[in-house]
């Protein structure tokens, strides 16, 4: 069972995770097979951490973590819904964090908007 933010409980549904990922990855270079593997990794974390009930926030965070490793744009799309950004500023802050991380990981790559 999944414990929602409002405390209600619903049956676990792999399809809901996959649908959310498909929306986030719309027109991105992420294959359906890659999304299936991503959900597999999330499920593995869920099933090894929880026995019967799992908070929806845990599923959302693990999904976001896995997606960030696959595609940054899709990650920001997913995070904007999952984390319920209240305004554009939060969206921009998240994008900046990704750009800063990429700059540290690839210091020789030039920035698009310098």
Chain-wide mean pLDDT for the chain?
87
Tell how strand 9-10 and strand 2-3 pair up: antiparallel
Mean pLDDT of 36-47: 97
The predicted pLDDT at position 63 comes to 96
Of the candidates 68, 62, 66, 60, the residue with the CA atom closest to the CA atom of residue 105? 68
CA dihedral angle for residue 91, residue 2, residue 30, residue 114, rounded to 10 degrees? 20
The pTM is what? 0.79
The per-residue pLDDT for range 43-75, each reduced to its tens digit, is 999 999 999 999 999 999 999 999 999 998 999
Rg, the chain, Cα only:
16
What span, in angstroms and rounded, lies between the C-alpha atoms of 60 and 65? 9
Angstrom distance (rounded) from CA 85 to CA 44? 28
Contacts of 67 (CB under 8 A, 6+ apart): 21, 24, 38, 74, 75, 78
């Amino acid at each position: 069972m999944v414990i929602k933010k409002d405390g209600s409980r619903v049956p676990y549904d792999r399809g809901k995770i996959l649908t959310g990922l498909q929306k986030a990855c719309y027109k991105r270079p992420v294959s359906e097979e890659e999304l299936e593997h991503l959900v597999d990794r999330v499920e593995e974390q869920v099933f090894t951490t929880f026995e019967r009930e799992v908070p929806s926030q845990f599923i959302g965070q693990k999904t976001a973590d896995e997606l960030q490793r696959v595609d940054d744009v899709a990650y920001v799309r997913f995070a904007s819904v999952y984390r319920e950004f209240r305004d554009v500023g939060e969206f921009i802050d998240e994008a900046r964090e990704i750009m800063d991380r990429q700059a540290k990981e690839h210091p020789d790559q030039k920035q698009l908007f310098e």
